[in-house]
């Protein structure tokens, strides 16, 4: 079992997320990170648009006819009063494509406005807005979906080290997983030098390390506490933002991850770009991922996981214990 780096889709995914991750780092370094909201002129706004543009441009060039369902569209950039945002986005895209113009950038971004279909790619250009603004964990997440199942996924995590530690690293990590070919990890600076990774072999739920979001608003903290108590989990949680959590789980740096329904949004359904790449990374590393009821994630229902409630991911060995607790408390 080995990843085929000569495969055009594998090569594209690997290099596209690394290029976007490096550009996101440049933007983060050059702009003042202040914690402003995503809708304002902020590093994450510029990075979202810039990274989607360069991934879409690369896709247009390397994978003729490929379909992209992305998180962003260029509407905001073309509104009155957004000239400065448009200027900055264009300038950053020119770091990768020197001949880029504002019109070309908008066109590339809007390549991601396609509808989901039998076979398509989905992109979250900056997953982990608050982590990015704090200078902590975030990810560029890209996945290929076929007939409702993720068959290829890549995560570039610029602030995550090879040891799966959530501390800010000097060199970022990239993970790529292909259905039936395992999960592989390397440095963003040398993405073709890869090693296979596996989830941890911890089977005792009491010792399971929960991967949790830094932002409390991303889950139901009350229910989470009930589950931790019910399972007698003693290990300290590992807190970080974005699908970098999925990367850490795949590399053995934790055993469990729950996306519970917030009490303020009980009908919320996950967006596909928030879960697709991370889901296959976990599965191909030997883990398991379902919704809170134990159902397989269905990526064939448009831009949301409309048939699923939340997410339960694990190393596989503690999954049944998690689902039992979820049935009783969530």
User: Residue 33's pLDDT is what?
Assistant: 46
3-state helix, strand, coil in the chain (%, to 5): 35, 20, 45
Q: Which residues are catalytic?
A: 48, 129
User: Residue 145's pLDDT is what?
Assistant: 98
CATH code of the domain containing 249: 3.40.190.80
Asked whether residue 289 falls in the same domain as residue 188, the answer is no
Asked whether residue 58 falls in the same domain as residue 184, the answer is yes
Asked whether residue 32 falls in the same domain as residue 174, the answer is yes
pTM of the model: 0.95
User: Residue 37's pLDDT is what?
Assistant: 46
Least confident of 71-85, 267-281, 299-313: 71-85
Domain for residue 3, yes or no?
A: no
Spatial neighbors of 92 by CB under 8 A, at least 6 apart, are 23, 26, 27, 46, 47, 50
Residue 223's CB is within 10 A of a number of other CB atoms, namely: 19
pLDDT tens digits, 137-180? 999 999 999 999 999 999 999 999 988 777 766 789 999 999 99
Structural domains of the chain, count: 2
User: Residue 220's pLDDT is what?
Assistant: 60
> Which of the pair, 219 or 78, is modelled with greater confidence?
78
Asked whether residue 210 falls in the same domain as residue 283, the answer is yes
Least confident of 24-38, 258-272, 273-287, 309-323: 24-38
Closest alpha carbon to 106 in 38, 151, 52? 52
Asked whether residue 295 falls in the same domain as residue 231, the answer is yes
Domain of residue 155 covers 8-197
The angle, 0 to 180 degrees and rounded to 10, between the axes of the packed helices 43-62 and 102-110 is 80
Beta strand ranges found along 213-302 (DSSP E): 238-239, 256-259, 288-290
Q: What is the mean pLDDT of residues 108-130?
A: 96
User: Residue 171's pLDDT is what?
Assistant: 86
What percent of the chain is modeled with pLDDT above 90? Answer: 82
Is there a contact between 246 and 297 (Cβ–Cβ < 8 Å)? no
Q: Flag whether pLDDT at 85 surpasses 80.
A: yes
Structure tokens at 262: 């917030």
Q: Flag whether pLDDT at 41 surpasses 60.
A: no
Q: Which of 164, 197, 230 is the last residue of a domain?
A: 197
Closest alpha carbon to 330 in 235, 247, 221, 256? 221
Asked whether residue 167 falls in the same domain as residue 247, the answer is no
How sure is the predictor about 94, in pLDDT bands with cuts at 50, 70 and 90?
very high
User: Residue 217's pLDDT is what?
Assistant: 57
Q: Flag whether pLDDT at 218 surpasses 60.
A: no
Q: What is the mean pLDDT of the chain?
A: 93
User: Residue 36's pLDDT is what?
Assistant: 39
Beta strand ranges found along the chain (DSSP E): 68-70, 119-127, 139-146, 149-157, 173-178, 182-187, 190-197, 210-212, 238-239, 256-259, 288-290, 311-314
């Amino acid at each position: 079992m080995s990843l085929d780096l000569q495969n055009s889709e594998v090569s594209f995914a690997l290099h596209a997320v690394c290029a976007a991750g490096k550009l996101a780092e440049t933007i983060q370094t050059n702009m003042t990170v202040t914690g402003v909201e995503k809708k304002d002129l902020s590093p994450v706004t510029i990075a979202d648009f810039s990274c989607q543009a360069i991934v879409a441009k690369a896709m247009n060039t390397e994978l003729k006819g490929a379909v992209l369902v992305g998180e962003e569209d260029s509407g905001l950039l073309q509104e009155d009063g957004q000239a400065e945002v448009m200027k900055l986005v264009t300038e950053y895209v020119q770091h990768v494509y020197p001949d880029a113009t504002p019109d070309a950038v908008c066109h590339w971004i809007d390549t991601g406005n396609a509808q989901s279909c039998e076979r398509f790619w989905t992109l979250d250009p900056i997953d982990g807005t608050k982590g990015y603004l704090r200078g902590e964990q975030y990810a560029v997440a890209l996945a290929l979906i076929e007939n409702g199942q993720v068959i290829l996924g890549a995560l570039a995590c610029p602030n995550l080290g090879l040891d799966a530690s959530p501390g800010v690293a000097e060199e970022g990590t990239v993970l790529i997983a292909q259905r039936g070919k395992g999960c592989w990890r390397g440095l963003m600076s040398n993405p073709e030098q890869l090693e296979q990774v596996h989830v941890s072999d911890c089977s005792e739920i009491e010792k399971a390390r929960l991967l949790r979001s830094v932002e409390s608003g991303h889950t139901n903290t009350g229910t989470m506490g009930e589950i931790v108590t019910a399972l007698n989990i003693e290990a300290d949680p590992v807190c970080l933002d974005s699908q970098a959590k999925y990367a850490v789980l795949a590399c053995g740096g934790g055993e469990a991850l729950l996306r519970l329904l917030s009490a303020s949004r009980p009908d919320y359904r996950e967006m596909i770009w928030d879960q697709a790449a991370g889901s296959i990374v976990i599965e191909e590393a030997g883990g398991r991922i379902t919704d809170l009821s134990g159902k397989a994630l269905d990526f064939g229902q448009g831009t949301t996981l409309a048939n699923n409630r939340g997410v339960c991911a694990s190393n596989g060995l503690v999954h049944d214990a998690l689902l039992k607790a979820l049935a009783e408390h969530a």
